[in-house]
Structure 1
Amino acid sequence: MPLPSRTPRPPSPRARARARVLRSAVLVALSAGLVAAALPPAAPLGIGDPLFPQLGNPGYDVLSYDISLTYPGRNTAPLAAVTRIQALATGDLDRINLDFTHGTVSAVTVEGEPAAYESSGEDLVITPARPVDRGEAVEIAVTHTSDPRGPADSGGWVRTGDGLAMANQADAAHRVFPSNDHPSDKAFFTFRITAPNALTAVANGLPESRVRKGATATWTYRTAHPMATELAQVSIGESTVVHRQGPHGLKLRDVVRTADRELLEPWLRRTPGHLEWLEKRLGGYPFETYGVLVADADTGFELETQTLSLFERGLFTEPGLPDWYVDSIMVHELSHQWFGDSVSPRTWSDLWLNEGHATWYEALYAEEKGGPTLERRMKAAYGASDQWRADGGPPAAPKPPEPGEKISLFRPVVYDGAALALYALRHEIGTEAFQRLERTWVSEHQDGTPGTKDFIALAEWISGRDLTRFFADWLYAAKTPPMPGHPDWHSRAPRP
């Protein structure tokens, strides 16, 4: 080839800048590879939860999630997604483990620099270009897919008749987005959901914007309070958002299929009354908004996703269900906004604090609205309690879920069995002290993650009594202790 006939010009500033970026990317990739080669093989980690030992990850505290999801218009195809995590390192980190499965990762950056990554078990193991020091703020960005396909009972995305919703309890948020998927690490959330213009997207918190671009619109929602990953909610579908006002001007919004708007209105308009009833007992509602999401899906449960509780459509359309029952289930999920959402469990063994309290207020409300009396329900629970403990363990030390059936953690012992312990506590310390305990618990621990020991300590402080033996028997014993005030109650012997 002949030499050029003129002297070459020096590269332009833009070309030089591009060359520096490419060279930097190559060096970062090479250094990440060298660091990874020097480290032991990647392995899934966990924070040692008694029931889910590999859930959550040590070494950092998530401050916020910013999750972008692009819905292709059908609920049988993966969504394109980018999850950005702001975290604070609580230890020196050569690697960063995130909980993530059921999606494909295509890129990871740490502090804007490309990072090496690999999957190990249900963890995404990230090797940053340089180690992260304790006390350092770090930003992680993961480009991935979020796949709604798979067994309906595995959690994560729920395919509805007109789109998608989420059901992440207890350990399925990481089937949707990379996260530190344990309720002890609460964080603020921002959701950016892009979907075809004909659909409506709703998420936890309050709406910030809706921006149309061609055939799609991007909806942005932001939470005003920290949230556990298991409580995240995104709904995409042919929906109508129904607005109304609750006590003290609280913004209420319900999300229903547009075709069901009039059918469900008799139930939707009951929420302000439910809020007033609970606020009289617990104090002010702890969040910025509330509403119910009625999904055209067969999940087998309702779920207290923060500020937007998930309900099956069938709960409101089944003709055989009495009004008091449906009402009390709505109150159950609403009371979770205090117990479980605002005040979240430190470990999954503290689940009784969520479900026992929600069942307690469900039962009180049912009694007022024509259902069975609280005493009748608690007497029936007492009769079955020894069987429940044999099957699932005591309320505050439940047995792990059955292999392959994580939802089996939610056994009767953490519902009516735990409410029974609260009934006994009210007898033990008196109604006035019990009511003060309830209000103090949710006010002192708002947005927190206390555990069973904290509840015991507060009960002892308010009652002025040593309750060590009482709680040991009611929360941790294999057999149900005698019921205070009801020496005639008997628990049936458990059967194999």
Structure 2
Amino acid sequence: MPFTSRRLRAVLLATASVTLVAATLPAPEPLGIGDRLFPHLGNPGYDVLAYDIALTYRGRNTEPLDAVTVIDARTTAPLDRINLDFTRGTVRSVQVDGRDARFAAAGEDLVVDAPSRLPAGAPVRITVRHTSDPAGGKADGGWVPTADGLAMANQADAAHRVFPGNDHPADKAYFTFRVTAPKEFTVVAGGLPAGRTEQGGTTTWTYRTAHPMATELAQVSIGRSAVLHRAGPHGLPVRDVVPAADREKLEPWLRKTPAQLAWMERQVGPYPFETYGLLVADTETGFELETQTLSLFERSLFTGGAYPEWYVDSVMVHELAHQWFGDSVSPRSWSDLWLNEGHATWYEARYAEEHAQKPLERRMREAYARSDAWRAAGGPPARPDAPTPGHKISLFRPVVYDGSALVLYALREEIGEAAFDVLERTWVRAHRNGSATTRQFTGLASRIAGRDLTEFFDGWLYGERTPPMPGHPDWRSGTPGTAGPAPVSAEPGSGRDAGRAAKLR
């Protein structure tokens, strides 16, 4: 066939980056699902069922990884175009159900023209061949360079800096990771191993999740790592990934996890996933992160000697508690973040009280004193202010940590310990593997309490001022100059660098 302008255009589409292709298509536009805090995250018209992500790492963090992302989805409305969240990579080609598709960039969306109109309720497979660029990961999330490789830190809006997808926790899916790396590297990802093959000087490692996962919770670790195994409650596989040179130094911390798992199960019921463990990375991210089944921790937390043992234990329990609250039960919108962080902080504080004689009531009273200032600085717990432009993790403010744990303390005081215990267990059981809303939580609390708690929650979750604390009429809030975190003696995490809001996620 002659080399026509049509063929030339096809070649350009197949080889150009997203940015270069944008000019060849009718004006695409970024879409979103209407999240108040992240208006362009997520995309309407389809539900992702599964991701299959293949990555090739050549041993250099300065070099983009080659990648193929296959998305199996089902349409929820007729579609002529499919928007995917994706940026910081070069797209080489896109196929829809095996047919070549045109694509373009719009904001941080990859906009794909379906070869033909897709009806509602139809299965669709989208295959994107692209690169995944680790440059800039520490600054704004996505890939995080470590001393010996890479890890992921995708919360809240950074998964689409690694792979294309529907980057919002309202759309959870199953994941398969296939990662090829030089044979001297060890690769571990969320889920369980599903095969390993060697070819020449490289190894391909495959992992699959047994439960759906939000994109922000995906984890892939590539490094010169040791993988340590032990048994948790009921034979649960516990797997830790650590720098090989630090395995003995870290062992006293790692061996704590089975007992922490057992403690959390006594509080809220069975662990919700197929495995758990710590990924200890030689990097300074400024936070720890509850990536599903494999929580990310900075090496310095355990080896730096700057923090007391009870404090480090509490950080470990905070990320563990997230496996129930935030991972298994994910927020339907980012305004529901208080359900994640408030609960993780609540169980971290409860653990510190039981194991380190750090009184919960003292911590909550100090949080109450700061609560009005926290609300003024960051909004009420269930209606937080938008993050600072260019600094998305500023969403993680004190009001969503101790300010939200304070809501749970008030709720327990209001309805009693027995009803509160039933609420917690019922919540994680009823919404396991899904996404849930604040309204669902408050509705469940009212049903279990046997009375309408709307007025109580309106004040505690949405009020500009903190309501009176049930059972503690002498507590006072609004003390000038108390917008910062509470003292470290009362609040695990508050003493780390810029404070809890920057350190625990």
TM-score, length basis structure 1: 0.92
Q: Displacement, 1:124?
A: 0.2
1:104 partnered with 2:104: no
Q: Displacement, 1:322?
A: 1.1
Counterpart residue number, 1:119:
105
Contact persistence 2:48–2:72 (CA under 8 A) = yes
Q: Which runs of 4+ in 1 moved over 4 A?
A: 25-30, 36-40, 493-496
Counterpart residue number, 1:186:
172
Secondary structure of 1:481's match? coil
CA separation in 2, counterparts of 1:130 and 1:137?
13
Contact persistence 2:25–2:104 (CA under 8 A) = no
Of the three residues 316, 323, 336, the one matched with 1:350 is 336
Counterpart residue number, 2:489:
none
Counterpart residue number, 2:469:
483
1:66 partnered with 2:66: no
Secondary structure of 2:324's match? coil
Query: Would the alpha carbon gap of residues 92 and 424 (structure 1) be closer, same or farther in structure 2, given more than 3 Å must change?
Result: same
CA separation in 1, counterparts of 2:148 and 2:8?
47
Contact persistence 2:137–2:145 (CA under 8 A) = no
Contact persistence 1:187–1:226 (CA under 8 A) = yes
Q: Tell me the amino acid that sits aligned with residue 408 of structure 2.
A: L
Of the three residues 400, 405, 417, the one matched with 2:391 is 405
Q: Tell me the amino acid that sits aligned with residue 111 of structure 1.
A: D
Q: Displacement, 1:370?
A: 1.6
Of the three residues 154, 169, 183, the one matched with 1:168 is 154
Q: Displacement, 1:153?
A: 2.1
Give runs of aligned pairs for residues 92-241 of structure 1, distance below 5 A.
92-150=78-136, 152-241=138-227
User: Cα deviations across residues 367-423 of structure 1 (Å, max 9, x unaligned)?
Assistant: 112252100100110000000000000000000001111000000000000000000
Give runs of aligned pairs for residues 321-400 of structure 1, distance below 5 A.
321-400=307-386
CA separation in 1, counterparts of 2:164 and 2:349?
37
CA separation in 2, counterparts of 1:374 and 1:137?
50
Q: Displacement, 1:299?
A: 0.5
Contact persistence 1:46–1:56 (CA under 8 A) = yes
Q: Displacement, 1:347?
A: 0.1
Q: Tell me the amino acid that sits aligned with residue 303 of structure 1.
A: L
CA separation in 2, counterparts of 1:381 and 1:318?
28
Secondary structure of 1:170's match? coil
Q: Tell me the amino acid that sits aligned with residue 218 of structure 2.
A: A
Q: Displacement, 1:133?
A: 1.1
CA separation in 2, counterparts of 1:250 and 1:212?
28
Contact persistence 2:69–2:127 (CA under 8 A) = yes
Q: Displacement, 1:318?
A: 2.2
Secondary structure of 1:281's match? helix
Structure 2: which 5+ residue stretches go unaligned? 15-21, 484-505
Q: Displacement, 1:28?
A: 12
Counterpart residue number, 1:78:
64
Contact persistence 2:137–2:144 (CA under 8 A) = no
For the pair shown, the structure with the greater C-alpha radius of gyration is 1
1:434 partnered with 2:420: yes
Contact persistence 2:190–2:207 (CA under 8 A) = yes
Secondary structure of 1:242's match? strand
Q: Tell me the amino acid that sits aligned with residue 282 of structure 2.
A: D
Contact persistence 1:352–1:414 (CA under 8 A) = yes
Counterpart residue number, 2:500:
none
Q: Tell me the amino acid that sits aligned with residue 403 of structure 1.
A: P
CA separation in 2, counterparts of 1:29 and 1:144?
17
Secondary structure of 1:139's match? strand
1:286 partnered with 2:278: no
Give the aligned CA root-mean-square deviation in angstroms: 2.1
CA separation in 2, counterparts of 1:134 and 1:122?
25
Query: Would the alpha carbon gap of residues 494 and 347 (structure 1) be closer, same or farther in structure 2, given more than 3 Å must change?
Result: farther
TM-score, length basis structure 2: 0.91
Contact persistence 2:79–2:114 (CA under 8 A) = no
Structure 1: which 5+ residue stretches go unaligned? 1-18
Contact persistence 1:324–1:371 (CA under 8 A) = no
Query: Would the alpha carbon gap of residues 28 and 492 (structure 1) be closer, same or farther in structure 2, given more than 3 Å must change?
Result: same
Query: Would the alpha carbon gap of residues 38 and 150 (structure 1) be closer, same or farther in structure 2, given more than 3 Å must change?
Result: closer
Counterpart residue number, 1:12:
none
Counterpart residue number, 1:449:
435
Of the three residues 41, 45, 48, the one matched with 1:55 is 41
